[in-house]
Amino acid sequence: MSVKHHLTHRQTMITICLILAALATLPVLARTEKPVLHGQHWVAITGKPLAATAGAMIFARGGNAVDAACAMLGATCTMYDVLSWGGETQALIYNPKTGKVIGVNALGVAPTGATAEFFKEKGRRYPPRFGPLAAVTPGTPGGLITMLAEFGRLSLKDVLEPSIRMAEGYPMEAQAADSIERYKERIKEWPYSKKVFLPHLGEEREAPHAGEIFRQPDLAATLKKLVEAEQEALTAGKSRQEAIYAAYDRFYKGDIAREFARGCQEQGGLITAADLANWKVYLEEPVMTIYKGIEVYKLTHWVQGPVMLQMLSMLENYDLKAMGLNSARYIHLLYQVMNYCFADRDFYYGDPYFPPEEPIAGLLSREYARDRARLINWEKNDAEARPGDPYPYQGGTNPFLDLLEKWTNVPPAEEQDAGKEWSENRWPEIRESFYTGTTSVQAADKEGWVVSITPSGAWIPACIAGTTGVAMSQRAQSFVVYEEQNPYNVVEPGKRPRATLTPSLALKDGKPFLSFAVQGGDTQDQNMLQFFLNVVEFGMNVQEACEAPNIVSYQMQSSFARHESAPGRLTLHEDVPPWVRQQLRRMGYDLDFSRYTSGPINAIWFDWEHGTFWGGSSNHGEDYGIAW
């Protein structure tokens, strides 16, 4: 071969390599599995197709986005599977009349008697994963009613009609039916659940079949009681808002509350009628950070939402676009940023209505984010990434320095199996805990209302409280019992557990830019961070960003079951090229792969140039949207 030919060949190969490298980092997907939803008047997206239809029905009746979101919330709760009526609701609402974002805190609280000592005496490090002792007070009925009363337009009767009709009977989808069959032995422990969920007792398959009409007469009766309370109040001359709140009082202070408490206690639970009567919904000011001129809003530290804001503040220090989407360097940076921010979550987040006061100002400060970013080791994964000390960044002194020094994300010795077998033998269970439960609801209308909700709780296998037809939440398992794990999140009567549920809203130039949320447990803010960066940094449209390959870390402590972590474990999309895989393995990552890694995410992008909505719904799950 001549020198000239050799050089030409070499130059050609270099050119090909450069082209391949460029293609590997192209931000825009050539095609998506689902189309973008385009709407001019409204858009409704949620985790179940039937529930999206319920939202469309309400829009067709003249409801606004809050009305439609409440109808979708009620419908998804009526379908069980990943949530139901006894669970919790977390929402962000953009009010076009004020230009403000409102936070809705409808998370239940630990009941009377649910103390750290109570669980310690039972030999537990956390409240249980299932059953009546896993329950906090139901929050979703109160959250739905409050949102509707304060910001909706229609009556509770209108908004609950789809839910009532579904409770009277709807064709169950395969995902929920098969989940019931998997957990049927657990469900048989609870008499009211067994009656509802297992219509074929004694047969080989005792759960409903896919497509079978699933009937919940007790739940239908409870929902009708709420409508009765509203209608009676209207007849008595009460205003629309007063009448809707009459339904709230009947659920939390009337006959429904009494039966719920009785049914809970009959099965060994702790919730009392007083616990229900004393609980309330909070309308709050959310927390916010600005990323490249975009205001990103999250609920505050009673959920994990501020984690995403912390991560964005750390990532502002880097040129992400130059790194290339899902290059080894980009993936490593995201993973390390997650390590530090989730470690802060695991130690500092808790109920803001209970002492001690969480250092949220320090956690969200730019200076703290800058200094945390300097800790990143660019050569390998830091398996021992720890919480920082945000107190000096808000002019204070950390009252828990002694606990901070002892903190670890490794489970106690008595909860581990020998050696590596602990992580490998139990990896499927650990991985499942990171994705536990949840759905999301997204709605927007031409008037300007925008709603982002991440409801959850009371998923299958759910323990139903008496003849209410309302299942109890399992959220108490997110508390800790020993303060060295998190002194702000120790279980206590009347206290909210730090939850994973975290809807998102973003404004640009004072107007809605993105509304987005995702189902899953500890993966939520991981997926939403990457979705947001896909849009803002890599120029994807909303559907492309919903479907784009994500990474998933398990290095933070799970918020469920045993609160375990798996440092260095990383899920990648199956299309990640081999050279990226090899580099990440050299950096200490233990890789697994999946075809779908994006959530599923549901989102709305606001096209102000054309006055329209772009809706996105991930190809990962049953999530579905409708627009007009």
Each domain of the chain, given as residue ranges in start order, spans 62-284+456-478
Residue the block writes with tokens 């499942």? 432
What pLDDT sits at residue 433?
58
Tell me the two tokens of residue 202: 């004694």
Residues 6+ apart with CB under 8 A from 116: 481, 482, 490, 491, 492
The Cα-based distances of 22 to 3, 15, 179 in angstroms read 28, 11, 43
Single out the residue of 380, 385, 306 nearest to residue 343, CA to CA.
Answer: 385
> pLDDT > 90: what percent of the chain?
84
Q: In this model, does residue 14 exceed pLDDT 50?
A: no
**CA–CA separation, 511 and 120 (whole Å):** 49
The single residue listed with the structure tokens 């992580």 is 423
**Partners of 570 in the beta sheet?**
553, 591
Integer Cα distance of 278 and 493 in angstroms: 11
Per DSSP, the three-state class of 517 is strand
Q: What's the pLDDT tens digit per position in 48-61?
A: 899 999 999 999 99
pLDDT digits (tens, 9 = 90+) for 293-315: 999 999 999 999 999 999 999 99
Instruction: Quote the crossing angle between the two packed helices 240-253 and 156-168, to the nearest 10°.
Output: 40
Give pLDDT, residue 520: 85
Of the listed ranges 30-34, 237-241, 243-247, 316-320, the one predicted with least confidence: 30-34
Return the closest-CA partner of residue 495 out of 345, 356, 299. Answer: 356
3-state class of 588 per DSSP? coil
Rounded distance, CA 131 to CA 537, Å?
A: 44
pLDDT of 563 over the 80 cut: yes
Asked if 44 contacts 52 with a C-beta cutoff of 8 angstroms, the reply is: yes
322, burial (CB in 10 Å: exposed 0-12, middle 13-18, buried 19+): exposed
Distance between CA 220 and CA 78 in Å, rounded?
Answer: 9
Residue type for 64, please?
A: N
Q: What is the pTM of this model?
A: 0.93
State pLDDT tens for residues 398-451: 999 999 999 987 655 444 443 344 455 665 666 665 556 679 999 999 999 999
Coil/strand/helix, residue 452: strand
Do 453 and 65 touch, CB atoms closer than 8 A?
no
CA distance 531 to 537: 10
Query: What angle is formed at CA 84 by the lines to CA 79 and CA 90, rounded to 5 degrees?
Result: 120
Least Cα distance to 316 among 299, 331, 337 occurs for 337
The predicted model gives 13-30 an average pLDDT of 39
- Of 59, 62, 256, 70, nearest in space to 163 by CA: 70
Amino acid identity at 163: S
Where residue 260 falls (left for φ over 0; alpha for ψ -120 to 50; beta otherwise) is alpha
Q: Is the pLDDT of residue 578 over 90?
A: yes
